[in-house]
Structure 1
Amino acid sequence: MGGACSRKRDQQVNEDTVQRGVSGIYSKSGSSKWMGTLFHRSSVDILQGRGKCPSLMELCIHKICEDINNYSTFSILPRDISQQIFNELVYSNRLTDVSLEAFRDCALQDICLGEYPEAKDCWMDVISSQGSSLLSVDLSGSDVTDSGLVLLKDCTNLQALTFNYCDQISDHGLEHISGLSNLTSLSFKKSSAITAQGMSAFAGLVNLVKLDLERCSGIHGGLIHLKGLLKLESLNVRCCKCITDADMKPLSGLTNLKELQISCSKVTDFGVAYLKGLHKLVLLNMEGCPLTAGCLESISALVALSYLNLNRCGLSDAGCEKFSVLENLKVLNLGFNNFTDKCLVNLKGLTNLESLNLDSCKIGDEGLVNLAGLLHLKSLELSDTEVGSAGLRHLSGLTGLTHLDLFGARITDFGTNCLRCFKNLRSLEICGGGLTDAGVRNIKDMASLTLLNLSQNCSLTDKTLESISGLTALVSLNVSNSRITNAGLPHLKPLKNLRSLTLESCKVTASEIKKLQSTALPNLVSVRPE
């Protein structure tokens, strides 16, 4: 399909390359309730007229942060005010070694410095000085080492610790948090220096509810230390390729477990059998695990499941009848397996399904009749299947669909007639089919669309841009490998919300696209080709 496709369909997603983002903010206490709004919108934004009229408190905090070098301590202020000043400095990237010192002994409750560029060991002395008031700490992506982690051992009321992507945290550092028995959330994503031996520090964290060890490559055998954590509800060991069937056995007694992510591991049918007693399990992610039909017998016992991911597990139609008992499923991902229309017969009773992924399965037109009764379906992935225009008529009753992916499917102008009923679609991909300008006219009234991908339809011309010029909610548009020319670009002027435009292998010039960007589409930030 060439380089203009929105993504490669035959290449496995590498979960190890998922982009790191700022870690989540905890709201564990009264003082941090405001963090959900103020922390994401600085007082600078408010003062510049992008929000409500600023309060006296907001004006004061803004002024203090502007003159931060004039203050040596905030310890005499009420804790909530000190907390707001601290967070405003973090948001505006003005927290430094010097200004941090002013927060010593301020009894702060939340230290959220995930991805903050300056955070390091020397900051930990001030952070730990918050003592028993401290409830949550996020130092993801920082240069904090074991020596810095040690200083938190006396912050005995800590409820949440997040040290994702901290390369210098090892087993030695974990020893010193073993006494923090009030912890309910703990995260050490991609910490390669943590081993099974070091995980013995977790055995005493009896109140732990959530544990995240995603992409920790040395923890095989360490899950044995979790068997006494009976309050554990969420365990993430995604992309830990060292995890095997033996690691599943200690989990069999964690009957409060609701979420388990073991994708891209070595767990087989034998390991899945240990999970049969986890009757509260709501989410199970086993993408990329080497499974066979035998695993479906064990999975069918997990009747509370609402999210099941079996992408890229090498499964076929054998055992598919077991899906029919999972009546609580809302999200089912079966992509990149060898399922055929025979499998879909067993899905027609899953009337609670909201999202179904059949990407690259051997699904054809006739199989889609089994989806006609899934009236709650909002997202349907049929990319790189054998579905054609005739199959779409079976979906006409799914008027609640918001996402439909037909990438690489065999859709012609006739098929787009069946799309007219999807008035709520926000995302539509019809790539590599046989669409012409006439077919595009059938989607011109989908006013809710924010993403439209029509790449690889080589017959599309400037008339297509004219047809979609009324889709003013569009944020992303891809019409690559078509006959679009510079003459058609003015039709895009009404699309003021457009942020991404892809016109690779079209008869357009970079200069004309830039002119359009500068004069009519101020929000356009991603353009291909440039």
Structure 2
Amino acid sequence: MGGACSRKRGHSVEDEGSRRVASGRLSKAGSSKWLLFSLPRCGSTVLQKGQTKCPTLMELCVAKIREDIAKYSSFSMLPRDISQQIFNELVESFCLTDASLEAFRDCAIQDMLLGEYPGVKDSWMHVIASQGKSLLSLDVSCSDVTDSGLLHLKDCSNVQSLSFNYCDQISDRGMEYLSGLSNLTSLSFKKSNAITAEGMKAFRYLVNLVNLDLERCLKIHGGLIHIEGLKKLETLNIRCCNCIRDEDILSLSGLINLRELQMSSCKVSDAGISHLKGLKKLVHLNLEGCPVTGASLEFISGLVSLLYLNLSRCCLSDEGCRNFSDLVKLKVLNLAFNNITDACLMHIKDLINLESLNLDSCKIGDEGLLNLKGLLQLKSLELSDTEVGSIGLRHLSGLCNLESINLSFTMVTDGGLRKLSGLTSIKSLNLDSRQITDVGLSALTNLTGLTHLDLFGARITDAGTNCLRRLTALVSLNVSNSHITNAGLHHLKPLKNLRSLSLESCRVTATELKKLQLSALPNLVNVRPE
């Protein structure tokens, strides 16, 4: 029959097992076929009810080992790929313990991803470090590992990726132990409050570092000077590091290969942004919540490779917005919660590659939308809490690629929705307005591709729900704070794809909603009220 179960006549399993033992040891790169003979034969009864795909023999074997893990004292003789699969299975099933971890000592495992796994501590680092030069990636985020635990990694010289996010007991002393790991390409220390600028001296030796994450590290002011020589660095995350000032950013000016820079909620002003003007390869820049003004756009406009720019919650006004016109490659632009008006949009009209534009809570009105009619690649448009009304929506009628639009807390009425009826590409629509009635809802029946519809607060009744019958692609529907009653629920029965339904503060009962769920909407998993 061929395959692993094919045997020559007279050649017993015991004979082969004896021959392997006699050879002295098993090669870690060797065949895994022997495993089929080391475990009991698994029949089809191991398949769980409702399972449609038959598991592989390897999956069955690994599952059996997980069940009998207490019987095994060491996996060091197994081929590495099998040891890795067993380790992964124990982690995913939360079956890895102090005792079972010991069986993986000296197994040459490459990836030990234990982020948020309970019970990880310094004693585990002995076994982790025993993988030696084979270890390539390690994640012990949210663990109790301390500086002493990092000491054991000094022999794992080939490790490429380390994650110590939310490890509160790692300090500058522990960072010293990482300085010799020159093959590191990715390092993450999110919310590690014990790390200071002094500890960051270890970074200067990590010459191959490509990705560095220091989000919410609140004591690193003055430490960025130690990464100015990391010329291979491509992504840097210093989000929510409110200790970062303009003088820190000067250290980034020579990182010519930087492609992504996350700096939201830092105390960086226009002077700091001026140091970024030489980063011509920068693709992604996030300055949300930084106290920058329109003057910074003079420097940002020179970043000709930019595709993603987030200036939400900054101090922008119309002044300086003319520089937006130079960012012709931009695909995503977030200007939410700024003091910009229609005058700013005049300088955005030539950004024909834009796919996402966020103008939430800006002073944008109907006339400003005229500048968006040429943005034919636009897929997502956020206009929540602006001064846009029904008249302005006529300028959007040609945006045939628009998939998501948020019009909550605007002046849009029923008449305005008719101007959206031709945008059949829309999948997500948020109206969230007390100005929408059953009449407006009837204008949406052509949008048969809608998957998410939010009508929170709309003045729709049971009659209006009849308009939803054709929107059979709906996955999420919010009609909270409307006038719908139990009588209108039967109109929702054709919505077989619905997974989330919110009817809070409506005149419906939990009993009737449960009936609807059981009789007609089998995929519904999130229902309010319950």
Matched with 2:107 is: 106
Question: 210-219 vs 114-123, which deviates more?
Answer: 114-123
Q: Which amino acid aligns with 1:492?
A: L
Matched with 2:283 is: 282
Residue 48 of structure 1 and its aligned partner are, at CA, apart by 5.0
Matched with 2:460 is: 460
Cα separation, 1, equivalents of 2:47 and 2:437: 48
Matched with 1:472 is: 472
User: Quick check: 1:487 aligned with 2:484?
Assistant: no
Question: 195-204 vs 509-518, which deviates more?
Answer: 509-518
Matched with 1:331 is: 332
Residue 321 of structure 1 and its aligned partner are, at CA, apart by 0.5
**Are 2:339 and 2:362, in contact at CA under 8 Å, matched by a contact in 1?**
yes
Q: Which amino acid aligns with 1:526?
A: N
User: Quick check: 1:313 aligned with 2:311?
Assistant: no
Matched with 1:496 is: 496
Cα separation, 2, equivalents of 1:221 and 1:363: 40
2:347 aligns to what SS in structure 1?
A: helix
Matched with 1:511 is: 511
Cα separation, 1, equivalents of 2:203 and 2:449: 48
Residue 499 of structure 1 and its aligned partner are, at CA, apart by 2.8
Cα separation, 1, equivalents of 2:376 and 2:247: 41
**Are 2:294 and 2:315, in contact at CA under 8 Å, matched by a contact in 1?**
no
User: Quick check: 1:135 aligned with 2:136?
Assistant: yes
Q: Which amino acid aligns with 2:505?
A: S
1:491-518 Cα shifts (integer Å, max 9, x gaps): 2233333332222221122332233334
Residue 433 of structure 1 and its aligned partner are, at CA, apart by 4.5
Cα separation, 2, equivalents of 1:46 and 1:450: 34
Question: 505-514 vs 64-73, which deviates more?
Answer: 505-514
1:177 aligns to what SS in structure 2?
A: coil
Cα separation, 2, equivalents of 1:44 and 1:245: 65
1:383 aligns to what SS in structure 2?
A: coil
1:329-383 Cα shifts (integer Å, max 9, x gaps): 0000000001111111111110110100000111111111111111111100000
Q: Which amino acid aligns with 1:506?
A: C
Q: Which amino acid aligns with 2:397?
A: S
1:332 aligns to what SS in structure 2?
A: strand
Q: CA RMSD in A?
A: 1.9
Q: Higher relative CO (CA 8 A, sep ≥ 6), structure 1 or 2?
A: 1
Cα separation, 1, equivalents of 2:82 and 2:160: 21
**Are 2:133 and 2:157, in contact at CA under 8 Å, matched by a contact in 1?**
yes
Q: Which amino acid aligns with 1:159?
A: Q
Q: Which amino acid aligns with 2:197?
A: A
Distance 1:131 1:423, change over 3 A: same
Residue 526 of structure 1 and its aligned partner are, at CA, apart by 2.9
Distance 1:45 1:172, change over 3 A: farther
TM-score, structure 2 normalization: 0.89
Matched with 1:39 is: none
Residue 89 of structure 1 and its aligned partner are, at CA, apart by 1.2
Residue 164 of structure 1 and its aligned partner are, at CA, apart by 1.0
Residue 186 of structure 1 and its aligned partner are, at CA, apart by 0.4
User: Quick check: 1:216 aligned with 2:217?
Assistant: yes
Equivalences, count: 489
1:397 aligns to what SS in structure 2?
A: coil
Residue 461 of structure 1 and its aligned partner are, at CA, apart by 0.5
1:105 aligns to what SS in structure 2?
A: coil
Cα separation, 1, equivalents of 2:47 and 2:384: 44
Cα separation, 2, equivalents of 1:117 and 1:81: 24
Cα separation, 2, equivalents of 1:469 and 1:169: 57
Cα separation, 2, equivalents of 1:500 and 1:174: 46
Question: 263-272 vs 67-76, which deviates more?
Answer: 67-76
Cα separation, 2, equivalents of 1:84 and 1:44: 22
Q: Which amino acid aligns with 1:136?
A: S
Cα separation, 2, equivalents of 1:45 and 1:287: 52
Residue 475 of structure 1 and its aligned partner are, at CA, apart by 2.4
Distance 1:443 1:488, change over 3 A: same
The 5-angstrom pairing of residues 44-55 of structure 1 reads: 49-50=50-51, 52-55=53-56
Residue 521 of structure 1 and its aligned partner are, at CA, apart by 3.3
**Are 2:369 and 2:396, in contact at CA under 8 Å, matched by a contact in 1?**
yes
Q: Which amino acid aligns with 1:246?
A: E
Cα separation, 2, equivalents of 1:133 and 1:149: 17
1:274-310 Cα shifts (integer Å, max 9, x gaps): 0011111111100011112211111111111100000
Cα separation, 2, equivalents of 1:451 and 1:402: 10
**Are 2:269 and 2:292, in contact at CA under 8 Å, matched by a contact in 1?**
yes
Matched with 1:411 is: 412
Cα separation, 1, equivalents of 2:363 and 2:110: 53
1:284 aligns to what SS in structure 2?
A: strand
Cα separation, 2, equivalents of 1:120 and 1:491: 56
Residue 242 of structure 1 and its aligned partner are, at CA, apart by 0.7
Matched with 1:382 is: 383
Matched with 1:153 is: 154
**Are 1:196 and 1:219, in contact at CA under 8 Å, matched by a contact in 2?**
yes
**Are 2:422 and 2:446, in contact at CA under 8 Å, matched by a contact in 1?**
no
Cα separation, 2, equivalents of 1:156 and 1:49: 46
Matched with 1:13 is: none
TM-score, structure 1 normalization: 0.89
Cα separation, 2, equivalents of 1:351 and 1:49: 49
Residue 134 of structure 1 and its aligned partner are, at CA, apart by 0.3
**Are 1:375 and 1:400, in contact at CA under 8 Å, matched by a contact in 2?**
yes
**Are 2:184 and 2:206, in contact at CA under 8 Å, matched by a contact in 1?**
yes
Structure having the higher Rg = 2
Cα separation, 1, equivalents of 2:413 and 2:299: 42
1:421 aligns to what SS in structure 2?
A: coil
**Are 1:411 and 1:433, in contact at CA under 8 Å, matched by a contact in 2?**
no
Matched with 1:36 is: none
Matched with 1:9 is: none
User: Quick check: 1:525 aligned with 2:494?
Assistant: no
Q: Which amino acid aligns with 2:484?
A: I
Residue 61 of structure 1 and its aligned partner are, at CA, apart by 1.4
Residue 133 of structure 1 and its aligned partner are, at CA, apart by 0.3
**Are 1:172 and 1:198, in contact at CA under 8 Å, matched by a contact in 2?**
yes
Matched with 2:429 is: 428
Cα separation, 2, equivalents of 1:405 and 1:101: 54
The 5-angstrom pairing of residues 179-328 of structure 1 reads: 179-328=180-329
**Are 2:235 and 2:258, in contact at CA under 8 Å, matched by a contact in 1?**
yes
Q: Which amino acid aligns with 1:478?
A: N
**Are 1:146 and 1:168, in contact at CA under 8 Å, matched by a contact in 2?**
yes
2:253 aligns to what SS in structure 1?
A: helix
Distance 1:45 1:372, change over 3 A: farther
Q: Which amino acid aligns with 2:191?
A: K
2:230 aligns to what SS in structure 1?
A: coil
Cα separation, 2, equivalents of 1:216 and 1:484: 49
1:443 aligns to what SS in structure 2?
A: coil
Residue 250 of structure 1 and its aligned partner are, at CA, apart by 0.5
Cα separation, 1, equivalents of 2:118 and 2:470: 43
Matched with 2:35 is: none
Q: Percent identity?
A: 66
User: Quick check: 1:367 aligned with 2:368?
Assistant: yes
Cα separation, 2, equivalents of 1:48 and 1:62: 16
1:343 aligns to what SS in structure 2?
A: helix
Matched with 1:167 is: 168
**Are 1:409 and 1:433, in contact at CA under 8 Å, matched by a contact in 2?**
no
Cα separation, 2, equivalents of 1:68 and 1:425: 52
Matched with 1:11 is: none
Residue 519 of structure 1 and its aligned partner are, at CA, apart by 4.1
